[in-house]
Amino acid sequence: MDAFKHNVLAGKTAFIVGASSGINLGIAQHFARQGARIVVVSRTEAKIAAAAAGIVEAGGDALGIAADVRDFAALDAAFMQASDRFGKIDIVISGAAGNFVAPAAAMSANGFKTVIDIDLIGTFNVLRASYPYLNRPGASLLSITATQGTNPAMFQAHACAAKAGINMLTKCLAMEWGPEGIRVNAISPGPIAGTEGMARLTPTPEAEHALKSRLALRDYGSLRDVADTALFLASDNARYITGSIIECDGGCKLGDASTSDIGNFSIKM
């Protein structure tokens, strides 16, 4: 129980989508250690059950719900189930994503649409479905975008377009929902170690080394780096921050360190 002595989020409920693995699971575990009640959501029943069980075994309070972000009705039902159990929702993280490396000329219309549907429309669905269930004033909504939302990247047309859309959606919802006391922000992570995302984008040690050598901080970030950023933005310490895209990227977006040619590491034309 020692790990649960902090209480920055005590009494709050966090609904975290895409939380069966990687960055979003890292946020869920960190928020549980800070005293929040956690709802973890993703597509795959077995994976989300394991994620929730892990948080409970570590001493936290968690509910796992399977839902596909492309299915608005499933998300609405998930929010209803979560608020039946925990009451109004204080924090929403929209982080589900799908990605693969492919040149646009070899990308089918359905391949492009699939990533837009999961990342961009899925984020609208999560945030829109949350709206009736939010604690207001005071709710904090966070989406997980990427440097690809501002820096164009080879073989990432679908993800770049989707993440750019998430950035603008963040700002529009911040304007519309701010008067009700709902803050809407996004985190833009750089390359994060040990994630599925980087396994797909830099699959070899050579590709990883080449990218690290171009980052200002010369290393990948950790799950904890993103979770700490999310904790700040979700907490009352960030009460005057809304409509912001907060970079946690080791300088990834700067000059030469941009991931604009990241796909070159992992694809042969």
Question: Which residues in this chain contact ligand NAP in the complex, by CB under 6 A?
Answer: 18-24, 42-44, 47-48, 68-70, 95-98, 118, 144, 146, 189, 191-192, 195-198
Residue 241 class from Cβ within 10 Å (0-12 exposed, 13-18 middle, 19+ buried)?
A: middle
The reply to whether 159 sits near ligand HXC by the rule CB under 6 A is yes
Closest CB 57 distance from ligand HXC, rounded Å:
25
Neighbours of 116 (CB within 10 A): 17
Write phi, then psi, for 265 (nearest 5 degrees). -75, -25
Judged by CB, which is closer to ligand HXC: 181, or 203?
203
Residue in 216, 221, 228, 207 with CA at minimum distance from that of residue 252: 216
The reply to whether 97 sits near ligand HXC by the rule CB under 6 A is yes
Judged by CB, which is closer to ligand NAP: 22, or 60?
22
Separation between Cα atoms, residue 189 and residue 147, nearest integer Å? 7
222: alpha, beta or left? (left if phi > 0; alpha if psi -120 to 50): beta
Per-residue mark of binding to ligand HXC, 179-208 (x: CB under 6 A): -----------------xx--xx-------
Closest CB 211 distance from ligand NAP, rounded Å:
10
Per partner kind, with CB cut-offs from 5 to 8 A, the member of ligand HXC, ligand NAP, none near residue 143 is none
The reply to whether 98 sits near ligand HXC by the rule CB under 6 A is yes
Judged by CB, which is closer to ligand HXC: 140, or 148?
148
Residue in 90, 188, 83 with CA at minimum distance from that of residue 140: 90
The reply to whether 152 sits near ligand HXC by the rule CB under 6 A is no
The reply to whether 25 sits near ligand HXC by the rule CB under 6 A is no
The reply to whether 154 sits near ligand HXC by the rule CB under 6 A is no
Separation between Cα atoms, residue 60 and residue 22, nearest integer Å? 18
Per partner kind, with CB cut-offs from 5 to 8 A, the member of ligand HXC, ligand NAP, none near residue 100 is ligand HXC
Write phi, then psi, for 187 (nearest 5 degrees). -110, 135
Judged by CB, which is closer to ligand NAP: 60, or 95?
95
The reply to whether 148 sits near ligand HXC by the rule CB under 6 A is yes
Separation between Cα atoms, residue 168 and residue 145, nearest integer Å? 11
Judged by CB, which is closer to ligand HXC: 21, or 135?
21
Separation between Cα atoms, residue 87 and residue 144, nearest integer Å? 24
Tell me the two tokens of residue 258: 């941009």
Contact criterion met (CB below 8 Å) for 162 and 119: yes
Per partner kind, with CB cut-offs from 5 to 8 A, the member of ligand NAP, ligand HXC, none near residue 102 is ligand HXC
Closest CB 98 distance from ligand HXC, rounded Å:
3
HSE of 253, CA atoms in CB hemisphere, 13 A:
14
Q: Which residues bind ligand HXC (CB under 6 A)?
A: 97-100, 102, 108, 110-111, 114-115, 146, 148, 159, 163, 196-197, 200-201
